[in-house]
Structure 1
Amino acid sequence: MEALKQYWLKIKNLPKREKQRLIKKWSLLGVGAMFVSFAGLLLLAKLMGPPALLVPQTTVLHARDGSVIGEIHNSGQNRYWVPLKKIDKDIINATLSIEDKSFYDHIGFDFKRIAGAVLADIKAGSKVQGASTISQQYARNLFLTHDKTWRRKLQEAFYTLRLEMNYSKKEILEGYLNTIYYGHGAYGIQSAAHYYYGKNAENLTLAEASMLAGIPKGPSYYSPVAHYHRAKDRQAVILTAMKEDGHVNAKEKTIAKRTHLSFQRIKEEQKPKIAPYFQDAVLAVLKKEMKVNPETLRFGGLHIYTTLDAGMQQIAEEAMNGKIRGKEELQAALVAMDPRNGDVRAMIGGRDYSKSPFNRAVQAKRAPGSTFKPFLYYAALENGYTPSTSLKSEPTAFAMGDGNKDYEPQNFKDKYANDFITMSQAIAMSDNIYAVKTNLFLGPDKLVKSAKKFGIHSPLDKIPSLALGSKGVGVMEMTNAYNLFANGGEQVKPVFITKITDRDGAVLYEHEYEKKQVLNKENTFVLTDMLSGMFDDRLGTYTNVTGSSINQHITRPMAGKSGSTPADSWMIGFTPQLTTSVWVGYDKGEKLGKTDTGYSKRVWVEFMENALYGEPAMSFKQPDGVKAVTVNPSNGKLATDSCPVTRVSYYVKDTEPTEYCDEHGEGTNQEPEKEKEGWFDWW
């Protein structure tokens, strides 16, 4: 400090010419230092490259036809990014006229405007005029707080330099218009256009655009919704500026100024969700299976294209709401899938999402009842059974031999044939005695292995009652298992998402479909044919077939299986194009009432028929190793012309019956129907 004082005294005593020379020298050094510092700053900005534009953007969920079904965004902030070419020229011109006339001429800072603002502030004795360019405002919106400190201003200047040196003017303007706040939770011009006018940013009129351009200066103060007259005054200023800049003429200005605007006030978050349970399932897949960061979902501006068929979803909800009325505590779930590829087309996880977002379609485990039997009968076909294999249906006590009391399953309403029935009949009438006998004959371990082959991953016990669906499984799990019947034994995985793109349309993920043949095609087709028996009254003897209550509604080849427990009612059925499961029950496992058990079938058939309306009625593809023969359905023997009832039944070749029916007197034997031979067989 003393040295500096001595140096100052030395300069003070110098001659005038020496003082001037010294001042000139230090001035040149100061200017040079400033120049070097500024050049260094520019070089650093260039070397650091473009700053990451971490702009929070709304993620959009799409149905399979591209329509929007939902959004994921930061609470209260709707953000959409649209390219500059899809923003109306009037909003661009209005913004430039009022915010930054010299935007295309400066390098991020309008020094003339800064000087003018400084003079205005000095005259007023306070800060009355801003001089921030669009580039500066964009930098502030992207990276900084709005604190009025020197540190923040220096940071803003540096970020502005980085933006200007690494992005084009069009990119900066596009970014600004997509991030500026327009009030009422609307960030960016697309969100603002939708909120205020219910339209896209490319469709704005001059009056609408000039009104929106005035909002960012004070989103609350100039809100046309809250303060219309203030907003109109601000609009007039903008229109005058646009006229001065040559963007509009006097007539256009007058018309726009006189136009009275009405506002839609469309808040996206207030819209009811489309398929909310499905959307939750999509989010679960994104987070748990695809490991997408939750922050990326909330702020990434992704476009997620799903497998949902919006039309089918509406049909499903109408069927569910139309058939199940009253009984608010009664819950239901529905899953519809395309068995050809695993696409989930519709999903309902409960009666009312707003009251209970718990997704019973994918989260609940419920006893499937007799819908579990087809896995047993597939194992039976693999172990020598045929559709004609007969067992006696009668009240039976099964001795367990493990110290426990005998196991005594019952048929529905205690009805029994008290005679032999075929496997085709056992499936059609859902005979429990036949199922338990088969399970014990094969060994319960074979049923567990068979269920796993179908893709059932829920824990299963090797017990006799497993044949009757006593262990809990999921609705989605069962639906995907039944897909194997519909597609000829090919394992497909449930698909919710087909593609993910970023805000610019670049593909980040695209699903690759996979299939794996896990079942024998011939046995699968034979069992599928038997599962169509629930709609064939010819297979009913001591009781009706289980689909008799809905037979009259079916207009195309379908197959399936119903099932029930005291607390659960199921219906799972399919065509080659669609597999659908419906579950009805109470969350707490209360017993179903008499009328409750019929809901699942009625919802299922209404959905299937309406969902497939207009689609071709497809038959299940018969493999070469399967043979069709005409049998007497009551005993499974080859039919004669004396049999009053006959049915074409399918068998794996060389397992078809050879004995003719002799229950109706002598008749002419009918040879089994022969299939057309190929040229190689003929040769």
Structure 2
Amino acid sequence: MKVEIIAMNRFKGTLKYIRLLILITIIAAVLLTLFVIGLIGFAKWKGAPPLAVPQSTIFYAEDGTKIGENHHGGKRYWVPLEDISPYAIQATLSIEDRKFFEHHGFDFKRIMAAIIADIKAMAKVQGASTITQQYARNLFLSYEKTWFRKWNEAIYTIRLEANYSKEQILEGYLNTIYYGHGVYGIEAAANYYFGKSAKELSLAEAAMLAGIPKGPSYYSPLVDEQRAKERQKIVLRSMVENGAISEKEAKEAEKVRLHYSKGQEMLTQSIAPYFQDVVKTILRTKLGLDEETIEMGGLRVYTSLDVDMQAIAEKQIETIISKQSDIQAALVAMEPKTGEVKALVGGRDYTKSPFNRAVQAERQPGSTFKPFLYYAALKHGFTPSTELRSELTTFTLEDGTTYTPHNFNNYYANDSITLAQAIALSDNVFAVKTHLLIGQEELVQTAKQLGITSKLKAVPSLALGTSPVKVIDMVQAYSTIANNGKKIEPVFIKKIVNYEGKVIYEHKPVHEQILDPDLAFVTTHLMTGMFDPALNDYSTVTGQSIISEITRPYAGKSGTTKTDSWMIGYTPQLVAGVWTGYDRDQTIDKIEEKQYAKKIWVRFMEESLEGKKVKSFEPTDGVVGVYVDPHNGKLATDSCPTKRFSYYIAGTEPTESCTDHFHEKKKKKKKPKEKDSWLKHLFDWF
């Protein structure tokens, strides 16, 4: 009996929990229904959202000049759905949202499938946004990854579905979706990629375009056609599965060879296109902005570009390099105190080759690498007066191999020369000796400390610049030396303002002393030697050919290899580096081509600094300057025919006076001039 009572009580308890569960479920269902009805009512009450197009991102120079905007000057076209190829519509629906005409803005089955797939992969591997959601995202004009944005995006989706027909939503989506290269909308995309209207798109072309929005910079056929073709096949397969086309049509479309117009119909003039490409890369990689925000987030990006200097750089490259030559050029100009990049040229013609040789290419720097070596040598006790022999030398290395560096044209002093002469004359034997004396890792470490990001080999020839580097890195390194050892990093973006007018980024300068300021100054003064004929010896200083064009103090270094020609130099106000060479490792053989880099550099610097105060390099507190004989590095005396004022770390200046010229300066007593006799005059007459 007791057992029956206990069983009955348990049954009643269970029944009570079941009733409670049913009640909670009913209440939750009612609340959810009310919530959904409330959302729909709210959406109806808010009315139809305006079908606005995204705002373009605009780039400005430092003086406020507009230098470019991402949608190529407003090249977007809104076309009605009936003026869009049925293939383009079906391809987009098949790959983006097959159940578009069945759901009400959200595909819950697809959402659940995506969540399960993401959980299994422990990463976001599958998207579930419908066309309406994507369109809402485009219209909302905000791309910060927050729950507030997600909520507003959902509200926009409901408002779109509640107030517009499916055809209107699809039309708006196709007219605003991003297809890469600054192109928005199917009409602009058809024009850009194929030189035709959206109505004329073939099945193969439509499938190609439909695959791009998933990753515009990844699936563009102008970036990687093979990858884009693979994506096209996926789109065609989706169309077959969706019943839009047959298997036969898909296979035929796969075989069609597409011809691209490469945007020739939409090209517009812009200022400093290579510079703008760098800015966009920084926005994406360093500041973490997604591509949608960069392209259509309504940003106002204020850069460091000086439009006048940019124009001078482009003009000098165009004027100096022969139009018949295929040689390429790159130039970077930077303020040494701030790191702000004032001009950047990545090639001779952006429309023919957008490859940016200023920041992407790695080329052998030749002797422009030597200032890093000599800074390291000064740190190890060398001075501008340190002497080593300049003569043909074969070095036997630790592993038993030999290395024989050669000077330009095989000229050698066959005598001792000073470090000051070695850098001015670009003596290779002196450089390799120095490199081996201080240890090969020292140069690698110094270069890395200065901002060289390329891989460097600790080998004897590194002293002669045989490891390829980037122009931007070299200019950065020279800027750090020019700034007396305070670290400099290239600054392209000074400020970013979003579409609401709020500052979302502002550059904050960082002052970090990475080099000894006194050694950096002595290195700078050593680099003035390439423009000083007082250092001429077995050869002339390397800046001899452009000395006549300079009107102010410069420090610099040129560099030449078989395939590369460089000139990098600076004043206290401006650093500029120029590289010239062929893209395909063609050797530089013509004499005039070997001078391009120096000529471009000196004329760019002179014109850019015209009208600006002439400034000298200010000595730091820990250096002293003395007059020396440039040929032996000893203290100059009145007997020395040539004197040069040189700087040394205090306590390392020479103390021995030059005695090489005493015998040349002994004054000979002149005999008093005798008056010519009348007899001598008569003799001369005969």
What TM-score, normalized to structure 2? Answer: 0.63
Structure 2 CA distance for aligned equivalents of residues 41 and 605 of structure 1: 68
* Cross-structure match for 2:484: 488
Report the Cα offset of residue 142 of structure 1. Answer: 5.2
* Cross-structure match for 1:148: none
Inter-CA distance 637–68: structure 2 relative to 1 (3 Å threshold): same
Q: Which deviations, in whole Å up to 9, do the C-alpha atoms of 1:474-504 show, x marking residues without a partner?
A: 0000000000121111111111111111234
* Cross-structure match for 1:443: 439
Whether 1:652 aligns to 2:631 is no
> 2:521 pairs with 515, 519, 525, which one?
525
Structure 2 CA distance for aligned equivalents of residues 590 and 411 of structure 1: 22
* Cross-structure match for 1:311: 308
* Cross-structure match for 2:621: 624
Inter-CA distance 560–72: structure 2 relative to 1 (3 Å threshold): same
Q: Contact 1:393/1:417 (CA < 8 Å) preserved in 2?
A: yes
Inter-CA distance 426–56: structure 2 relative to 1 (3 Å threshold): same
Whether 1:575 aligns to 2:571 is yes
Q: Contact 1:58/1:74 (CA < 8 Å) preserved in 2?
A: no
Inter-CA distance 49–541: structure 2 relative to 1 (3 Å threshold): farther
* Cross-structure match for 1:346: 343
Inter-CA distance 45–654: structure 2 relative to 1 (3 Å threshold): same
Report the Cα offset of residue 288 of structure 1. Answer: 1.4
Structure 1 CA distance for aligned equivalents of residues 583 and 39 of structure 2: 66
* Cross-structure match for 1:19: none
Structure 2 CA distance for aligned equivalents of residues 552 and 419 of structure 1: 29
Runs in 1 of length 4+ with deviation above 6 angstroms?
36-39, 46-54
Q: Contact 1:640/1:667 (CA < 8 Å) preserved in 2?
A: no
Report the Cα offset of residue 157 of structure 1. Answer: 9.2
Q: Contact 1:57/1:73 (CA < 8 Å) preserved in 2?
A: no
Secondary structure, aligned partner of 2:661? coil
Inter-CA distance 655–486: structure 2 relative to 1 (3 Å threshold): same
* Cross-structure match for 1:586: 582
| Correspondence 1:534-549 to 2 at 5 A | 534-549=530-545
* Cross-structure match for 2:272: 275
Inter-CA distance 410–374: structure 2 relative to 1 (3 Å threshold): same
Paired amino acid for 1:330: I
Q: Contact 2:47/2:159 (CA < 8 Å) preserved in 1?
A: no
Structure 1 CA distance for aligned equivalents of residues 491 and 51 of structure 2: 32
Q: Contact 2:330/2:345 (CA < 8 Å) preserved in 1?
A: yes
Inter-CA distance 45–600: structure 2 relative to 1 (3 Å threshold): same
Secondary structure, aligned partner of 2:329? strand
Q: Which deviations, in whole Å up to 9, do the C-alpha atoms of 1:432-486 show, x marking residues without a partner?
A: 0000000011110111111112111211111100000000000000000000121
Report the Cα offset of residue 73 of structure 1. Answer: 2.2
Report the Cα offset of residue 48 of structure 1. Answer: 8.7
Report the Cα offset of residue 383 of structure 1. Answer: 0.5
Paired amino acid for 2:60: H
> 2:597 pairs with 595, 600, 612, which one?
600
Whether 1:466 aligns to 2:462 is yes
- Length, aligned pairs only: 464
Inter-CA distance 568–156: structure 2 relative to 1 (3 Å threshold): closer
Secondary structure, aligned partner of 1:637? coil
* Cross-structure match for 2:287: 290
Q: Contact 2:335/2:575 (CA < 8 Å) preserved in 1?
A: yes
* Cross-structure match for 2:207: none
Inter-CA distance 61–562: structure 2 relative to 1 (3 Å threshold): same
Whether 1:73 aligns to 2:67 is no
Inter-CA distance 56–535: structure 2 relative to 1 (3 Å threshold): same
* Cross-structure match for 2:503: 507
> 2:42 pairs with 30, 38, 44, which one?
44
Structure 1 CA distance for aligned equivalents of residues 71 and 643 of structure 2: 62
> 2:57 pairs with 56, 59, 68, which one?
59
Structure 2 CA distance for aligned equivalents of residues 667 and 659 of structure 1: 19
Paired amino acid for 1:275: A
Q: Contact 1:58/1:78 (CA < 8 Å) preserved in 2?
A: no
* Cross-structure match for 2:683: none
State which drifts further: 630-639 or 612-621: 612-621
| CA RMSD, 1 decimal | 3.2
Inter-CA distance 612–268: structure 2 relative to 1 (3 Å threshold): farther
* Cross-structure match for 1:611: 608
* Cross-structure match for 2:330: 333
| Correspondence 1:241-256 to 2 at 5 A | none
Structure 1 CA distance for aligned equivalents of residues 160 and 564 of structure 2: 64
Structure 2 CA distance for aligned equivalents of residues 76 and 342 of structure 1: 33
Could you say which structure has the larger radius of gyration?
1
Paired amino acid for 2:616: S
> 1:556 pairs with 549, 552, 556, which one?
552
Inter-CA distance 40–579: structure 2 relative to 1 (3 Å threshold): closer
Structure 1 CA distance for aligned equivalents of residues 161 and 525 of structure 2: 75
Secondary structure, aligned partner of 1:498? strand
* Cross-structure match for 1:323: 320
* Cross-structure match for 2:448: 452
Inter-CA distance 45–441: structure 2 relative to 1 (3 Å threshold): same
Report the Cα offset of residue 556 of structure 1. Answer: 1.1
Report the Cα offset of residue 425 of structure 1. Answer: 0.2
> 2:412 pairs with 412, 416, 428, which one?
416
Inter-CA distance 40–471: structure 2 relative to 1 (3 Å threshold): closer
Structure 2 CA distance for aligned equivalents of residues 142 and 638 of structure 1: 75
Q: Contact 1:488/1:521 (CA < 8 Å) preserved in 2?
A: yes
Structure 2 CA distance for aligned equivalents of residues 459 and 534 of structure 1: 28
Inter-CA distance 47–364: structure 2 relative to 1 (3 Å threshold): same
Structure 2 CA distance for aligned equivalents of residues 50 and 482 of structure 1: 58
Structure 2 CA distance for aligned equivalents of residues 537 and 382 of structure 1: 27
Paired amino acid for 1:517: Q
Structure 2 CA distance for aligned equivalents of residues 268 and 298 of structure 1: 20
Q: Contact 1:58/1:301 (CA < 8 Å) preserved in 2?
A: yes
Paired amino acid for 1:457: T
Paired amino acid for 2:647: Y
Q: Which deviations, in whole Å up to 9, do the C-alpha atoms of 1:603-643 show, x marking residues without a partner?
A: 00000000111111112121111001011111110000111
Structure 2 CA distance for aligned equivalents of residues 475 and 334 of structure 1: 8
Structure 1 CA distance for aligned equivalents of residues 61 and 305 of structure 2: 5
Paired amino acid for 1:606: R
- Unpaired segments of 5 or more residues in structure 1? 1-35, 80-137, 144-151, 161-178, 180-184, 188-266, 669-683
Inter-CA distance 56–650: structure 2 relative to 1 (3 Å threshold): same
Structure 2 CA distance for aligned equivalents of residues 470 and 412 of structure 1: 15
Q: Contact 2:533/2:541 (CA < 8 Å) preserved in 1?
A: yes
Q: Which deviations, in whole Å up to 9, do the C-alpha atoms of 1:292-312 show, x marking residues without a partner?
A: 111112221111111111000
Whether 1:638 aligns to 2:635 is yes
Give the percent of matched residue pairs that are identical in Structure 1 and Structure 2: 52
Structure 2 CA distance for aligned equivalents of residues 559 and 652 of structure 1: 18
Inter-CA distance 384–47: structure 2 relative to 1 (3 Å threshold): farther
Report the Cα offset of residue 291 of structure 1. Answer: 1.6
Structure 1 CA distance for aligned equivalents of residues 530 and 471 of structure 2: 20
Structure 2 CA distance for aligned equivalents of residues 441 and 623 of structure 1: 27
* Cross-structure match for 2:357: 360
Q: Contact 1:55/1:299 (CA < 8 Å) preserved in 2?
A: no
Structure 2 CA distance for aligned equivalents of residues 153 and 653 of structure 1: 73
* Cross-structure match for 1:114: none
Report the Cα offset of residue 74 of structure 1. Answer: 8.1
Structure 1 CA distance for aligned equivalents of residues 438 and 460 of structure 2: 11
* Cross-structure match for 1:389: 386
Structure 2 CA distance for aligned equivalents of residues 423 and 414 of structure 1: 19
